[in-house]
C-alpha cells in the first residue's frame, strides 16, 4: 500500500512541478524546494540515524543537477544486521512520514479546528478491529469531511490560511518518493517479509493480534491519505495557476 501511494504521490508531484515551471519558470522549483526538500532529506536522515546507519554525506538543498536532484542523503549500513536492513524500508518512506507530520503541525498551528477533527478521526479509526466495504467508506468519508473543514469561507478570509496553504504546497511538492527511495524501501520490505515468514515457521506470529495489525494499517492509511489529500490539493492549484498564467 505505502509503495503504491508513494508512486501515486510521485505522479502528482511531477505534474504539479511541471505546472509550476510552466507558470513561473524553471527556477520556481526552488521556491517550493526551499522548504520541502530539507524536510524530505531530514526525514531520510532521522530514520537513518534511528536504524543506526552511517550518514556519509548529506545535502539538504542544492540547485538541480543534471539528474534534477535537489538534495540527497548518502548512508551506509552493516549488511549483516537485520535491524539495519529493515531500516532501509523506513529510511525510504521517511519523507512521507516526515512530510505528513510537518503538515499536521502546520494544521495544528494555523487550522486548530481541522487538526482537532483529524485527531478525532484518528481516535475513532484506531478502534476499528475489522474491515469491510462499509467501514472503508466511513473512513474515506471522514477524510472528505476533514477537507471540508479546511476549505471554509471563514478560512479564505483569514490571511494566515494562505500562509498555511503556501507552506503545505511546498511540503507536498516534495513529499513523494524518488526511484532511489522506492528501491531502498523495497529492499527493506523484502527483509521484513522474510522475517515474518521465519517467525511464522516457528509459530511466533500466533502471538500477534490480527486486530492490532488492522489498527496499525488503518492508522498508517490515515497518514497516507493526508499525504495524498495535500498532494492532490497542490496538483489542483498548480493546474488552476497553469490555466490562468500562460
CB atoms under 10 Å from CB of 199, counted, come to 14
Residue 56 phi/psi, 5-degree rounding, is -85, -35
In sequence order, what are the beta bridge partners of 75?
55
Cβ pair 143, 229 in contact under 8 A:
yes
**Residue 236 in this model has a pLDDT that exceeds 70:** yes
Domains of the chain, by residue range, sit at 2-24+85-244
- Euclidean distance between CA atoms 33 and 124, whole angstroms: 35
Of 130 and 181, which is predicted with more confidence? 181
Q: Does the reported pTM lie above 0.75?
A: yes
pLDDT at residue number 109 = 95
201-227 tens-digit pLDDT:
777 666 666 666 666 677 777 778 888
Round to whole Å and give the CA distance between 90 and 245: 39
Q: Which of 90-94, 123-127, 237-241 has the weakest average pLDDT? A: 123-127
Beta carbons within 8 Å of 179's beta carbon, 6+ residues apart: none
| 164-189 tens-digit pLDDT | 999 998 998 898 888 888 889 889 98
Give the pLDDT of residue 171. 92
Amino acid at each position: 500500500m505505502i509503495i503504491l501511494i508513494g508512486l501515486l504521490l510521485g505522479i502528482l508531484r511531477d505534474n504539479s512541478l511541471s505546472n509550476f515551471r510552466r507558470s513561473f519558470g524553471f527556477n520556481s522549483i526552488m521556491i517550493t524546494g526551499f522548504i520541502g526538500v530539507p524536510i524530505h532529506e531530514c526525514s531520510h536522515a532521522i530514520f537513518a540515524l534511528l536504524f543506526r546507519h552511517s550518514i556519509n554525506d548529506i545535502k539538504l538543498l542544492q540547485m538541480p543537477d543534471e539528474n534534477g536532484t535537489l538534495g540527497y542523503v548518502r548512508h551506509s549500513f552493516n549488511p549483516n544486521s537485520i535491524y539495519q536492513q529493515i531500516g532501509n524500508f523506513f529510511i525510504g518512506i521517511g519523507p512521507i512520514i516526515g512530510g505528513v507530520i510537518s503538515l499536521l503541525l502546520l494544521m495544528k498551528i494555523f487550522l486548530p479546528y481541522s487538526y482537532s477533527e483529524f485527531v478525532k478521526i484518528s481516535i475513532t479509526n484506531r478502534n476499528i478491529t475489522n474491515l469491510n466495504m462499509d467501514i472503508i467508506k466511513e473512513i474515506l468519508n471522514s477524510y472528505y469531511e476533514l477537507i471540508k473543514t479546511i476549505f471554509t469561507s471563514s478560512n479564505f478570509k483569514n490571511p494566515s490560511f494562505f500562509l498555511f496553504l503556501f507552506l503545505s504546497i511546498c511540503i507536498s511538492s516534495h513529499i513523494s518518493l524518488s526511484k532511489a527511495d522506492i528501491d531502498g524501501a523495497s529492499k527493506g520490505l523484502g527483509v521484513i517479509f522474510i522475517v515474518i515468514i521465519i517467525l511464522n515457521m516457528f509459530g511466533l506470529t500466533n502471538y500477534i493480534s490480527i486486530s492490532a495489525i488492522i489498527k496499525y494499517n488503518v492508522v498508517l492509511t490515515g497518514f497516507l491519505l493526508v499525504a495524498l489529500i495535500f498532494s492532490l490539493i497542490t496538483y489542483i492549484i498548480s493546474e488552476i495557476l497553469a490555466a490562468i498564467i500562460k
